Amino acid sequence: MKLQEPGTEIDGFVIGECLNAGSMAHIYRVEYANPGRDPGFSLVMKVPRMTSGDGAETIVSFEVEHQMLQVLSGPHVPRFVAAGDMARLPYLVMEYIEGRTLQERLDRAREEGHRPWATEIARLGAAMAVAAHSLHEQDAVHLDLKPGNVLIRPDGSAVLIDFGLSWHAHYPDLLAEELRLAVGSPPWIAPEQVVGVRGDPRSDVFAIGVMLYELATGELPFGDPQTRGGLRQRLWMDPAPPRLLAPETPPWLQEVILRCLEPEAALRYASAAHLAFDLANPDQVQVGARGLRTHRTSWLIHLKRWLKAAGMHYHPSPLPSTQIDQVPIVMVAVPWKDASDATLYSLRRATGRSLGIRPGARLACVTVIGINDTDPTDRQRSEVQVHRRQLESLRQWTQGLELHGHQVSFHVLEASDIADALVQYARGNNVNLMILGAATHGLMMQRLIATVPIRVAMEAPCSVMLVKQRLPFSELHRSDAMRDTPASAMDQFVSP
């Protein structure tokens, strides 16, 4: 398809400058010829290349992207505006996103001879993971995440573009039906994609891991293989640990990156939301041998993986939204003061039941300290001391829970509006379920007890479980004895 001249009018759109003349498509700035049709945001037109030398993939990818843009919504995808007739002139008109691609950031870092700090890598990775999670919640998987397909807005949020290789659970998979070959960009394609499995959201987690690896080390973890045999190696091989190539890489970041790059999808992050959570809370990352390694994996381990991969049968993935529901992020709001033994016991029981029916769920234990609600003793202590004491109380509170198979993190927040702090935490960390009791407000006046729970239930972006306070019969005799116990001691109450 030849380049369109500026000023050319196509179906009511006036062509502007060409922003990109790529191998698959040309991207132009456009605007409506009729000013009265201004949508309120800038527009671009994507015109696919369809010359005699282009294969069927170009046509099919255009059809897929047309289909995807019409059904996806939210701040992490461009808004769809219009599409051209395939037989006459195929094109897609969509929202123009202000920002730079991740590839531009990588290129600039190479030119300047430096790599981003770990905090910046985590910020970029969390933005990508949040964007991918938004797709997965809509039962879509991108399957071609790479630096050129990730736009970073000025506010730091990520927008994903180029959905030509994507998959949606509720629409025909045109690529699988018409091409019947694994498609993707070799450096970023996940192992399961190599063998033709599409639709697993953890494939996007793998691709994000590749980008994090490149940000941290300046190198691609698997190179740029051009043969099927070269691609298949990632079914059993893992890359050199980032700390071997870039010793300044902190162990927590290496732990995150290598977990994303596990050959088996089941060993990666269960969802992009879990990945975003770790990147947003690096101090809560549980660092193991994977994060401390400074040597390559032995040939014997690779041999065992090769034998396992040779006999592995890959099955279609369940709906992405179903997978997310199976491994939610569960948040429990534990009161930091004025909490009875009944409140703490009931919260623990409710949390235990919720985790018990959700294997793989992540638990975030949160306490909000009211800025204007601290006692005189706390005012005399440093903020660090207060936070450490509350963190220890949270850890002791979880002692009665069965946490095997669950990642757990502890968070102490400080806010004058406790309800708003809980809601904002849930929104910022993609929480699926919040558990709280009436005592989370931290206020003494009984007439205000319901204020925080009701506000949270009305404003929270997730499901909310309000827990009624009660003790089992065997514990009733202890309630009188503990009535006069200081709040700090009751925070550490653990049921037998």
* Structural domains of the chain, with CATH: 9-95 (3.30.200.20), 100-320 (1.10.510.10), 328-490 (3.40.50.620)
pLDDT of 11 strictly over 50: yes
Token pair of 486, please? 């200081």
pLDDT bucket at 408, cuts 50 / 70 / 90: very high
List, in sequence order, every residue forming a beta bridge with 464; answer none if it has no partner: 434
pLDDT in tens, 150-206: 999 999 999 999 999 999 999 888 877 655 555 678 999 999 998 888 889 999 999
Cα–Cα distance for residue pair 362/157, rounded to 1 Å: 24
pLDDT at 337: 77
* pLDDT for 488: 40
Provide the percentage of residues in the chain whose pLDDT is more than 70.
85
- Taking alpha carbons only, the member of 195, 135, 144 closest to residue 166 is 144
Q: Using CA atoms, how far apart are residues 173 and 256, in angstroms rounded to an integer?
A: 31
Q: Residues 112-121: what's their mean pLDDT?
A: 91
Classify residue 365 as exposed, middle or buried by CB count within 10 Å of its CB (0-12, 13-18, 19+). buried
**What residues have CB less than 8 Å from 460, skipping those under 6 apart?**
422, 423, 426, 427, 434
Residue-level pLDDT at 10: 92
Distance CA 84, CA 78 (A): 17
- Number of neighbours of residue 386 by Cβ within 10 angstroms: 18
Question: Is residue 489 pLDDT above 80, yes or no?
Answer: no
Ranges 73-82, 306-315, 361-370: which has the least confidence: 306-315
The lowest-confidence range among 108-117, 151-160, 185-194, 472-481 is 472-481
| Cβ(29)–Cβ(20) below 8 Å | no
For range 93-121, the mean pLDDT = 93
Question: Does the pLDDT at position 485 exceed 70?
Answer: no
Q: How confident is the model at residue 376 (pLDDT cuts 50, 70, 90)?
A: low
- Enumerate long-range contacts of 416-420, CB under 8 Å, 24 or more apart: 416/370, 416/371, 416/372, 418/368, 418/370, 418/442, 418/452, 419/451, 419/452, 419/455, 419/456, 419/459, 420/455, 420/459
Give the Cα separation of 51 and 208 in Å (integer).
32
* Confidence at 404, pLDDT banded by 50, 70, 90: confident
Average pLDDT, the chain: 85
Task: Note the pLDDT tens digit of each residue in 199-228.
Answer: 899 999 999 999 999 999 999 999 999 888
Choice between 339 and 295, residue whose per-residue pLDDT is larger:
295
- Taking 90 as the threshold, does the pLDDT of residue 381 lie above it? no
